[in-house]
Structure 1
C-alpha cells in the first residue's frame, strides 16, 4: 500500500515529493506501533492517529495508479498489469513474512502465551499462506491477536491493496469521471458513517465479516478518490511543498484523541475530515510541489526508496519490543524510548539493506523473467 508504481514505468516522470511523503508517513507508522503498547487503548496512545497513515497510503496509491496506468491500457493487458503488481509487491511480502517466522518463537511472552504451544509445521503453513498475502482463518491464529497475518501484522493492508488493484484493473478503470465521482461519493458516505459510529476507522486486520467490512470501507474511498484526483487535478507549481505537506501529515497523525470516551463521534468526524478532505489536499500539494535543492531531492528519494520496505520489515522487530514491554509490566515511555529509538533506527537500516540487497535485485530478475 505504500507502493511506488511510478518506478515500474521509467518512461514517465514521477512525483519525487509524493515519494518523500510516503516515507514520512511510513516512519510515523513505526512510531505509532512503538507507542501503541504503552497505551491502554485507543484513547491514550501517544501517536494517537498513526493508523490513519494506512488510509493516506491507499489514497496515494490510487493517485499514482491512475497516473501510471490510466493511459496505458491500449498497450497493456490485464495479465501484464498483474505481473507488474506482483513483481512490485510480492518480494517484500515474502521477506516480511519470513522475518516474522524467524522471530516467531523468540517473541513468546505473557501477551502471547499461545506461541510456545504452536508446532513448527503450523507456523510454516501460516508463513507459506502469508507469502500469497491471502488471509489466514482464525483457526490458524498462531499468535492470539486474531490477525489475518500473525507473522507480520501489517500484511492486512496489502491484502486490501490487492483487492483495490483487482477492482481497478478489471472494472473501475473503465469508469467515466462521472461514474467514478458517484462511486467515490458513496464510499465517502460509508467511510464517514463508519468513523462516526465507531469513533474511528481503526480495524480491518481480522478475517471476519465486521473487520473485512472495515477494511473494505477504509480502502474504497481513499484508493478511488486518489484515482479520481489523478484524473481531474491539474497540478500547479508550489514551493516548499515537501516541508508543508510533511508538517500537515505529522499534525494529522500526531493529533491526540478528540472527544474522549464520552464523545466518540467527535473523533469520528475528525478522522472523516482528514481522510476525505485533508489527505487529498496533501496529495494535490505534493503533486504540485517543486523540488528546489539537490538536498531536498536526495531526502525525498531516500524516504521514497525505503518507504515500502520499512512498512514490511518493521513489525517483525516491533514484536520483540511488544514482548519486552509485556514481560516488564509498568514500563513507562521514559524507560521505553531508548529501545523504541533503537527499533526505529534498526528498522530504517534493515529497510534500506532489504531494498538494496534483496528487493531491487529480485525485482530486476523477475522483470527479466516475465519479459
Structure 2
C-alpha cells in the first residue's frame, strides 16, 4: 500500500506591525524678548451748537354752520387761511344734519389762543373783524432758542504690541421697522443702531520708541433729523469716517480733526400770491431758520511701556491703573471731576 502523504507544515504567524513613530515634538517657542506694550489715552471732545428762530402769523375765519333755531345750540367752524403746523391743528367738522347736534368741542371755541397752548414761544392773538355772520382772528407767534452741548469722554487702555484695540463712546437709538411675511400682515419691530464714536486701531512699536497707529475704523454717527414716512417717525443718520496710518513719537499727542459738520435749514410757508406782497404779506407767511454746528476733536496719546525697565513716562502713563492699598490712586481725581460735572449741570 502506498505510504500516506505527509501532513502540511503549519503556516507561520505573520509578524506584528512595527509601532508607528511618534510625531516630532514641536519646537520650543522662541524666548520672549519683547514684552513692551502701549498705553493709549484717548480724549474725545464734541461741541454741538444749535439755534432756532421761528416767526410767523396766522389768520382764521370762523362762520356759523348751525343756527340758534336748533335747540338753541350754536356751533362754529373754523378755517385756517394759513395752515401752519407751528400753530397746532384746527379741524373743520362735517355739518351735523341731526336734530340734536353734539356740543361744541374744545378746539372750536371762540378763543384762537387755545390752539396755541401746546406750542412754545410768545404769541399774540387779536380779532380783526367781528360780525354776526363770522369773525376773522389773527395770531402772531415768535420763538428763538439756542442750546449748547459738550460731550467729553476719556477712555484709557493698555494694548499689547501689534494687537488691535477698540473704543466705543456713544449709545443706541431705537427706531421702528416693518417686517412683511406673506400671507401675514406686516409686523412692526424695534431695531437699535449704535451712534457715537467708533475707533478701531492697532499700535505697533517701531525703532526709537516710535509708535505706528493704524486707524482701521474711525466712524462718527449721529441722528441728523427725524422724517415721517407713512405715519412712522424714522431717524435719519449721518456718518463721518476716516482711515489711515500715522507715526507718533512716544508720549506725543495725535490730534484728529476735520470731523466738523454744519447744517442750515430755512423754511418759508405762505399763502400763494398774498404771501409775496411786501409788508402786506407778513400776516400770510411764516419763516423758520434752524442752524446746527458740530465740531469733533479726538486726541490720541500712545506711550511705550516696558515693565522690565519702566521709564518715568511709562510710570506716569500707568499711574491711572496703579493700586494703593484698597483704593485706586485716581479715585480722588475721578470724584472731583464728577462733583464738578454735577455742579455744572
TM-score (norm 1): 0.20
Which has the larger share of strand?
A: 2
TM-score (norm 2): 0.21
**Which fold has the larger relative contact order, with Cα–Cα distance below 8 Å and residues 6 or more apart in sequence?**
1
Which has the larger share of helix?
A: 1
